[in-house]
Every structure is written in C-alpha cells, then in structure tokens.
Amino acid sequence: MKFLHYWRAMWGIIWRECWRFVTQRERFVSALVRPLVWLFIFAAGFRSALGLAISPPYETYILYEVYIVPGLCGMIQLFNGMQSSLSMVYDREMGSMRILLTCPLPRWFLLLSKLLAGTAVSILQVYVFLGIAWCYEIRPPIPGFGWILPALTLSGLMLGALGLLLSSFIKQLENFAGVMNFVIFPMFFMSTALYPLWKIKESSALLYRLAEYNPFSQAVELIRYALYGQFNQTAFVYTLAALIVFMTLAILGYNPSKGMMTRKGGSG
C-alpha cells in the first residue's frame, strides 16, 4: 500500500465524520446547548452562591474564563468522545464498520483515522462555543485561540480513545446509555472542570485524590493552561500516557483474534 492510499482513506473517514456532523443540525445544536446551559445558568448561580458581584470584571474573569470556560471545553470533548463511541456501535450494528475494518489497510490505522475524525469534530465544537462565549463578553486572550489547539488535539484524542475503548465492549446500542452515564458523570464531577484542585482538597481528601488522578482533570488543566499561553508539563505527560493506554487497549479490543470482538461472535 502506498502513502496515497493511506492519506485518501484517512481523509475520507475524517471528511465523512465532519460532514455528517455538520449536516445533522440537531446534533450540532445539542452539542452546544449543554455547555451553554452550564455557562449561562449554572455558572451564574454558582457565582451568586459564592457571593460574587455581577459587575466587577475581574471577578467575572476569574470565575468564567479561568475555571468555567476551559472546563466546559473539556466537557464538549468528553461528550463528543462518548458520542463517537456511540457512532462506532451504530456503524458496527449496521454493518458499515465491519466493511471498513475488512479493507486492506491496517486495523489500527482505520481506528486512528476514526479517532482523528472525532477529534476534529470536537475541536470544531469547542471553537464555536468559544465564539459564542466571546459574544457574551467572556474573552480569553486572542493568542489563546491558537495556543489551545495542540491541547485540544491531545485531549480530544485521549477522550476519543477512551470512547473507542468503550465501544469495543458495548455489544448493543441499548446498553450504551447506561455505560455512557456511568463514565461521563463521575469523570466530569470528580475533576477540576468546575473547581480548582486546591478547593477540592479543602472539602475532601478522597475526592482530591480521585480528581488528581482523573485523566479528564489533567486534560482540563492542559486546556486551561494553554488558553493563557502556559504549558502544564504534568498534565501533558499524564494526558499523553492515558492516550497511549486507551488507544492500545482499544486496538486490542477491536482485534478479532485477541479482543472483545471475538467474544461477541465476530460482531465487529
């Protein structure tokens, strides 16, 4: 196989996923409604509970931009990673995924292409969200829109790989909702998406440890630092390591001879 074959296959998979997302308006709108509700309703109530005034710009900057906005960017990518795994289960049941995996290209390359496609969609969602937040006068530094791109790519790949791993275990679409909720909500609420780590430590030592070792927390911290032109080495290494582990397990899971697909009667 030549390089051109790999490139055309990868581009085709990415283009198909992006085009499907853009043309499905309900999916596009629903992907933005969730973080916007948290931004405009929950964060406002959270600020009121803390006794912060609405008018001072510095307090608004601290609450919305430093903590809430990067956390919601991570939320978008987390839900998109799970949505991508749902798409994998659906394609497998409909037969299109089985046809794709039987092509001459290596299975790991096809799974990586699907992962890149899902990450591209999540990055698109994040930038649209940041654009809406900008209109709401929540404005991180303009260079941050460029600095955040590598962080979004790595965090999107890691969370997408987690979704890919889950899809190798899920046999039917009916089982997906329960598994998705079992993964998403603990990961989100036991993280630094809404609260700083030092504040969590004041509340509970156990919760602090869970949040500290939560891969989603590290992904959020990577995004948060990058948005303001800083590099969090610990978050980068942790997120990269989680990506390697999740992707390796996902590839094994989709291997007919070694993974879960065999125990499912070759349904992949």
pLDDT of 92 reads 66
If you ran DSSP here, which 8-state letter would residue 195 be given? S
pLDDT of 127 reads 92
Distances from the Cα of 258 to the Cα of 22, 28, 143, 255, angstroms: 36, 36, 46, 5
Of the pLDDT bands very low, low, confident and very high (cuts 50, 70, 90), residue 58 is: very low
Instruction: Tell me the average pLDDT of the chain.
Output: 78
Decide if pLDDT at 27 tops 80: no
pLDDT of 44 reads 60
Helices 144-169/176-189 angle, 10° precision: 140
Decide if pLDDT at 159 tops 80: yes
Decide if pLDDT at 99 tops 70: no
pLDDT of 175 reads 66
Angle at Cα 251 formed by Cα 245 and Cα 255, nearest 5°?
145
Each domain of the chain, given as residue ranges in start order, spans: 3-261
* DSSP secondary structure of 117-169: HHHHHHHHHHHHHHHHHHHTT----TTHHHHHHHHHHHHHHHHHHHHHHHHHH
Of the pLDDT bands very low, low, confident and very high (cuts 50, 70, 90), residue 179 is: confident
pLDDT of 108 reads 81
Strands of 78-127, DSSP E: none
Taking residues 168-186, what's their average pLDDT? Answer: 73
pLDDT of 126 reads 92
pTM metric for this prediction: 0.81
* DSSP secondary structure of 228-249: TT---HHHHHHHHHHHHHHHHH
Decide if pLDDT at 243 tops 80: yes
Q: Which residue has the higher pLDDT, 147 or 261?
A: 147
Decide if pLDDT at 88 tops 90: no
